[in-house]
Structure 1
Amino acid sequence: MIPTPITSHLSAADFETVYEPAEDTFILLDALEQDAELLKGSRVCLEIGSGSGCVSAFLGAICGSSSALYLTTDLNPHACRCTLLTSTRNSVPLNPILTDLTSALLPRLTHQVDILVFNPPYVETEDEEVVEAQKEDGKRIEKSWAGGAGGMRVTNRLLEQVDTLLSDRGLFYLVAVPENKPLAIIADMQARGLEGEVVLKRRAGREHLHVLRFSRPGRTAPP
């Protein structure tokens, strides 16, 4: 069993503006751990919305701290700082980038990403709440969970980029809840040429969490 990354260096004040690891984080870690053999040998790992940096630090424990390039993005400068602290605390060389989704990374990462991970803001809210939360002042914790109509406003933007990002062996992991219509997401991605499935489900309080995994048909394994 791979230990959960250390985040005790982050304070209550940090978690006023940065998402604290919770059940949706932990189901994602479990999905990655059960796929550990598939993930080994990955060279470029990219987490969108890294928050505390917990998930990417966990990927580093799976793939090896010196075996891959670990990139993370977040719109929140406080999250980038926390990710960097978590990188140091867990001896994993994470590279946090302050940007909206992948804006600073394309086209350079076209078909280069072996592991793409996104635990998005998936809670159904008014679209106006998303617009306010996503403003670049870095002070609104709502940006970590406010998802707009169907909880999909931010997720849909990334889904348009997944085919461009994934390498031939790439795997994309996405956290979703029933309100996001996971089967519809899978059908949409199949229409874009990617295979998808639900690899893990778990009920956590009122939420019924899903982890979806996508890849190219005939995904190639690492050498």
Structure 2
Amino acid sequence: MIPTPDLSHLRAEDYEHVYEPAEDTFILLDALEQDAEELTSMRALVSLEIGSGSGCVSSFLSSIIGPSAVLYLCTDINPRACDCSTATGRQNKVPLELVNTSLADNLLARLHKSVDIVLFNPPYVPTVHHEASVAQVNRDIGGSWAGGHDGMQITDRFFPQVDSLLAPHGRFYLVAVAQNNIPHIQQRMQQDYGMGSKVVLQRRAGREHLSVIRFMRIR
């Protein structure tokens, strides 16, 4: 079993503004560990995590494929999260490169079709549209969970970006809940972007039924 990254440097006051790793984080770690052999054999050069929060997930990925073999890029709309992710990388001896931006807005031209591994644990909780929009404007912890109508308001914006970013043989891992209508997500990604998918892990956490979906190009 691959250990969870060391987060002992983060304090309670950090988690007042930055999402603390929880069951949705851990199911993504478990999905990556489950795919560890394939991820290692990919010989990836670029990883991109959207909304890195504490930096736990990208630091964990480095435990699978090596801290120096890959450019570990992370984005977060929350500047405090960028600071925490940077600190977590330092704590775990992983050179995480942080960009304070919404989704991958400032990286599309630079990374066109060149990202081998894309990771996204999005704000998936269904809320009213206004709540999700305000959370993004405020750039604080609310932006890590408020997902708007059916929890897909932010994720829907990212799908065209992942198509622009993902390398021909790349992998995209997405955390979702049942309310996000996972079969519709899979159908849409195949029809619109030629990406096949598989639900690689499912788990119930309280009232949430969590899933990790892995997408790969099929055309």
Q: TM-score range by the shorter chain?
A: over 0.9
Partner of 2:206: 205
**1:22-67 superposed Cα distances (whole Å, 9 cap, x missing partner):** 0000000000001011211111000000000000000111110110
Partner of 1:188: 188
**1:137-157 superposed Cα distances (whole Å, 9 cap, x missing partner):** 43x321110000000000001
**Secondary structure in 1 aligned to 2:204?**
strand
Provide the alpha-carbon RMSD of the alignment. Answer: 0.9
Partner of 1:84: 86
CA shift at 1:177, angstroms? 0.3
1:68 aligns with 2:70: yes
Matched letter for residue 200 of structure 1: L
Runs of 4+ in 1 over 3 A off after TM superposition: none
**Secondary structure in 2 aligned to 1:87?**
helix
1:217 aligns with 2:211: no
**Superposition pairs of residues 1-223 of structure 1, within 5 angstroms:** 1-40=1-40, 41-135=43-137, 137-138=138-139, 140-191=140-191, 192-217=193-218
**Secondary structure in 2 aligned to 1:73?**
strand
CA shift at 1:99, angstroms? 0.6
**CA distance, structure 1, for counterparts of residue 38 and residue 165 of structure 2:** 18
TM-score w.r.t. the length of structure 2 is 0.97
Matched letter for residue 213 of structure 1: R
Matched letter for residue 46 of structure 1: L
Matched letter for residue 166 of structure 2: L
Matched letter for residue 86 of structure 1: T
TM-score w.r.t. the length of structure 1 is 0.95
Task: Considering fraction of residues, name the structure with more helix.
Answer: 2
Corresponding residue pairs, total: 216
**CA distance, structure 1, for counterparts of residue 31 and residue 83 of structure 2:** 26
**CA distance, structure 1, for counterparts of residue 82 and residue 115 of structure 2:** 20
CA shift at 1:179, angstroms? 0.4
**Secondary structure in 1 aligned to 2:7?**
coil
For structure 1, list consecutive stretches of 5 or more residues without a partner in the other structure.
Answer: 219-223
Matched letter for residue 206 of structure 1: R
- The sequence identity of aligned pairs, in percent, is 58
**CA distance, structure 1, for counterparts of residue 120 and residue 190 of structure 2:** 18
